[in-house]
């Protein structure tokens, strides 16, 4: 919910200030070696009345696989109503895939079987995505596909037709639909229910539902539910007008909860205002 640029390029510049975000996720900590870790760095800013630019970098480390995504985002917004804007966005960049099955030997997974050894050394694949984002001061809805190129990163049958093993790595198109609304309960409390839906071929539809409370424009507390997957709690603190810190923890609702201690995320957001500006009421999305 705070890293919208990574899934929708139309979000670039929508906060009307230069905005930098760093986020780290440790999934299934205290579990098996090689559990997923993700680091995200992003920055975006308006560069004119209707144009926004952004940069996004994502680093995933999962078992024997390391992946790095990087892209530049461009958005253009239109004044649809007196308070509402429609932003259309494009993004282009690349993906680096690194797979080292030699690391399997250290855990006794393949017992030195040469047919199980596959090595991909930071193979580059292009990335191209698009999105749309409509927003007012209280409401937002977005639809996006961060990458529309279904690239074959690796197909073992093409490189070694005599191999007894079979392995492929292919990019699938992920579709995201998100929406949220801010209810102003009183001068000290805002409530924001929101939802995120992700669809990709070959996997069940993923649905995230959340409810966040902004207290005195300083403290954010929230809970979330990922359908048939996990429950989460989060807290955010607007330390200064420019700096926000946050922490989230989620726990599996499936049988996986027997084998790990949950997942956690930490994030830092820094926003740069012009000298004559100050943060009167922080945007809740």
Identify the pLDDT of residue 205: 95
Beta-strand pair 139-145/206-215 = unpaired
CA distance 253 to 223: 14
Task: List beta partners, residue 39.
Answer: 24, 59
Residue pointed to by tokens 């810190």: 245
Residues 242-264 have a mean pLDDT of 93
Residues 10-24 have a mean pLDDT of 96
Beta-strand pair 189-200/65-79 = unpaired
CA distance 138 to 126: 36
Q: How far apart are the first and last CA of the chain?
A: 7
Give yes or no for residue 173 having a pLDDT over 60: yes
CA distance 164 to 157: 9
CA distance 10 to 14: 8
Identify the pLDDT of residue 153: 65
Domain residue limits, the chain = 4-171+238-272
Q: How far is CA 123 from CA 24, 95, 109, 128, 156, in A?
A: 24, 8, 24, 17, 14
**Portion of the chain with pLDDT greater than 90, in percent:** 71
CA distance 68 to 93: 11
Beta-carbon contacts of residue 103 (< 8 Å; ≥ 6 apart): 64
Residues 240-261 have a mean pLDDT of 93
Identify the pLDDT of residue 92: 98
Q: Which CATH code of 3.40.30, 2.120.10, 1.10.540, 2.40.160 fits the domain covering 4-171+238-272? A: 2.40.160
Residues 150-158 have a mean pLDDT of 66
Are 182 and 199 a contacting pair, CB within 8 Å? Answer: no
CA distance 132 to 224: 24
Identify the pLDDT of residue 270: 97
> CB atoms < 10 A from the CB of 185, how many?
11
pTM above 0.85, yes or no: yes
**Portion of the chain with pLDDT greater than 70, in percent:** 86
């Amino acid at each position: 919910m705070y890293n919208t640029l990574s899934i929708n390029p139309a979000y670039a510049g929508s906060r009307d200030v230069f905005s930098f975000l760093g986020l780290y996720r440790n999934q299934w900590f205290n579990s098996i070696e090689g559990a997923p870790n993700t680091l995200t760095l992003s920055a975006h800013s308006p560069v004119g009345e209707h144009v926004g630019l952004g940069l996004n970098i994502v680093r995933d480390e999962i078992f024997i696989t390391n992946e790095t995504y990087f892209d530049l985002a461009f958005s253009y917004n239109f004044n649809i109503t007196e308070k509402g804007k429609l932003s259309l966005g494009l993004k282009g960049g690349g993906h680096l895939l690194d797979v080292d099955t030699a690391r399997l030997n250290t855990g006794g997974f393949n017992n030195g079987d040469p047919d199980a050894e596959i090595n991909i050394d930071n193979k580059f694949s292009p990335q191209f995505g698009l999105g749309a984002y409509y927003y007012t001061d209280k409401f937002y809805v977005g639809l996006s596909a961060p990458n529309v190129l279904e690239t074959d990163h690796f197909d073992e049958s093409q490189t070694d037709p005599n191999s007894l093993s079979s392995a492929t790595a292919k990019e699938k198109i992920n579709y995201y639909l998100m929406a949220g609304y801010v209810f102003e309960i009183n001068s000290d409390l805002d409530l924001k229910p929101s939802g995120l839906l992700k669809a990709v071929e070959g996997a069940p539809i993923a649905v995230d539902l959340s409810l966040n409370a902004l207290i005195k424009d300083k403290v954010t507390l929230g809970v979330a539910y990922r359908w048939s997957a996990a429950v989460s709690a989060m807290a955010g603190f607007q330390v200064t007008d420019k700096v926000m810190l946050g922490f989230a923890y989620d726990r599996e609702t499936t049988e996986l909860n027997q084998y790990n201690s949950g997942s956690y995320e930490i994030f830092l957001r820094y926003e740069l205002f012009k000298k004559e500006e100050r943060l009167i009421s922080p945007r809740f999305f």
